[in-house]
Amino acid sequence: MANQEKFLIQYDRKIRKQKPHGSIIGQIKKCVQSSKPKFVTLKYLKYVIENGVTFSPGILEGGLKAENWVRQQLFCVDIDNDEDNIPVMTVDDAMQVCIKHGIKPILFYYSFSHTLEKPKFRLIFAMDEIITNSLKRAFIAETLVSLFPQADKSCINADRIFFGTDKEVKIYEY
Q: How many domains is the chain built from?
A: 1
The model's pTM: 0.94
> What does residue 71 show for φ and ψ, rounded to 5 degrees?
-165, 160
CA angle 141, 40, 64 (to 5 degrees): 55
Q: Look at residue 77 in the predicted model and tell me its pLDDT.
A: 98
What would the pLDDT profile of 90-102 be if each residue is shown by its tens digit?
Answer: 999 999 999 999 9
**Residue 78 above 60 pLDDT?**
yes
Q: Can you tell me the mean pLDDT for 57-76?
A: 95
Encoded amino acid at 9, one letter: I
Query: What counts of helices (H) and strands (E) characterise the chain?
Result: 4, 8
Q: Which domain holds residue 79?
A: 6-171
Residue pLDDT, tens place only, 126-148: 999 999 999 999 999 999 999 99
Radius of gyration of the chain (CA): 15
pLDDT, residue 172, reads: 86
pLDDT of residue 1: 45
Task: Report CA-CA distances (Å) from 127 to 15, 33, 70, 83, 168.
Answer: 27, 21, 15, 28, 23
> Is 115 inside any structural domain?
yes
The answer to whether residue 1 sits within a structural domain is: no
Specify if 71 maps to a domain.
Answer: yes
User: Per-residue pLDDT for 174 more than 70?
Assistant: no
